[in-house]
Amino acid sequence: MTTKTPEVLHSDVHRDVHRDSQPRRFDVKRFLSNNGALVGLVVLCIALVIATPDFLTGQNLLNIGIQASTVAVMAFGVTFVIIAGGIDLSVGSVAALSAMVSGWFFVSAGLPGGAALAAGLIAGLLAGVINGLASAYGKLPSFIATLAMLSVARGLTLVISDGRPIATAPQVSFLGGSVGPVPVPIIVLVVTALIASFILNRTVIGRSMYAVGGNAEAARLSGLPVNRIIVTVFALAGLFAAVAGLLLAGRLDSAQPQAAAGYELDAIAAVVIGGASLAGGVGRISGTIVGALILVVIRNGLNLLNVTAFWQQVVIGLVIALAVGIDVLRRKSRSK
């Protein structure tokens, strides 16, 4: 074993201090990897400001916030599922079922408005628990379990409503209104984003989601209750889907049997565009918000430019394919 002389030690310390004092280079590649979706949103907004003067009006920006609220709130729950290594195709149908259950309890069962709203939230929570139990203990792939729930929840929505809209409680209709100049959906978006971020970053269950999504077997061997975590994750997804469904019902002032059809794809797309990995273990709530805004801004901009709904579907599909492709390339680069 060699002992360094004081001169050598002084030289090492001087070199370390010199290295630390050097200004760190701005890593463009890493910045784009971590904030690519945000950069894309900014570029998209600049392009639309140039393309149409109607984009940057106050009313249009409020409309974007209101439209993004439903997708983003639903996507928060999907973020949990994807981080934990699963997928949830049922959130759109669960959102519709939750709103319909709330409306039925208010109109047909005569419950007070607050209790009817709570019944809708409980319906979404129970649907999520069933998804989790089927996936964790029934050993069904989450794709199959939630695909089945997609059909069951939509069918129950049609059965309860007999295919007709149902009026909502005043407490639900309030969710579609405003508090002063601020729309309630935007307030709900901010509150749920803070709650979701707290769950993900400040709780044991949030940190466990990353562990399970990164390597479920390693998480199990380290003592984590993987099955209970999976059930909890899907339960949260169902609860957030219920909130989104009630938001949509508040905006429509009724529970519609075909409400939120296709929203599950938008929710998954928002999560992936926001930087989450479909392989699990990666994802952020802030990224999901940006992903939801990108989808809504694209649709809003295309509407302002008078692009038909058919072409809008094509554009959205290409954006989703691009986001998944970027995720694949990102995972390949990390594995090298």
pLDDT band, residue 25 (cuts 50/70/90): low
- Dihedral sign for Cα 119, 120, 122, 123, please: positive
pLDDT at 322: 83
pLDDT at 34: 67
pLDDT band, residue 9 (cuts 50/70/90): very low
Mean predicted confidence (pLDDT) in 104-132: 96
pLDDT at 289: 96
Whether residue 1 lies inside any domain: the answer is: no
- Which of residues 265 and 28 earns the better pLDDT score? 265
- Which of residues 320 and 208 earns the better pLDDT score? 208
Q: 182-183 and 178-179: which strand pairing? A: antiparallel
Segments forming the whole domain that contains residue 307: 43-335
pLDDT band, residue 319 (cuts 50/70/90): confident
Decide if pLDDT at 95 tops 80: yes
Decide if pLDDT at 53 tops 80: yes
- What is this structure's pTM? 0.89
Nearest to 255 by CA among 75, 90, 95, 74: 95
pLDDT at 29: 64
pLDDT band, residue 312 (cuts 50/70/90): confident
Whether residue 23 lies inside any domain: the answer is: no
pLDDT at 8: 46
Whether residue 36 lies inside any domain: the answer is: no
pLDDT at 17: 47
Whether residue 68 lies inside any domain: the answer is: yes
By mean pLDDT, which of 27-31, 113-117, 189-193 is the weakest? 27-31
Decide if pLDDT at 334 tops 80: no
Mean predicted confidence (pLDDT) in 191-211: 96
Whether residue 62 lies inside any domain: the answer is: yes
Instruction: Give the whole-angstrom CA distance, residue 248 versus residue 263.
Output: 11
Whether residue 33 lies inside any domain: the answer is: no
Whether residue 306 lies inside any domain: the answer is: yes
pLDDT at 59: 92
Instruction: Give the whole-angstrom CA distance, residue 197 versus residue 160.
Output: 34
- Dihedral sign for Cα 269, 270, 275, 281, please: negative
Percent of the chain with pLDDT over 90: 77
Q: What CATH number does residue 265 fall under? A: 1.10.3470
Count of beta carbons in the 10 Å neighbourhood of residue 143: 13
DSSP 254: E
pLDDT band, residue 329 (cuts 50/70/90): confident
Residues 147-191 have pLDDT tens digits of 999 999 999 999 999 999 999 999 999 999 999 899 999 999 999
Decide if pLDDT at 16 tops 60: no
User: Number of folded domains in the chain?
Assistant: 1
Whether residue 288 lies inside any domain: the answer is: yes
Average pLDDT, the chain: 89
Decide if pLDDT at 299 tops 70: yes
By mean pLDDT, which of 5-19, 171-185, 250-264 is the weakest? 5-19
First to last CA, the chain: 35
Do residues 288 and 274 make contact, with C-beta atoms less than 8 angstroms apart?
yes
In 3-state terms, what secondary structure has residue 282? coil
Do residues 268 and 77 make contact, with C-beta atoms less than 8 angstroms apart?
no
Percent of the chain with pLDDT over 70: 88
Mean predicted confidence (pLDDT) in 112-138: 97
pLDDT band, residue 1 (cuts 50/70/90): very low
Using N-to-C axis directions, what is the helix angle for 184-202 and 58-83, rounded to 10°? Answer: 30
Mean predicted confidence (pLDDT) in 11-26: 52
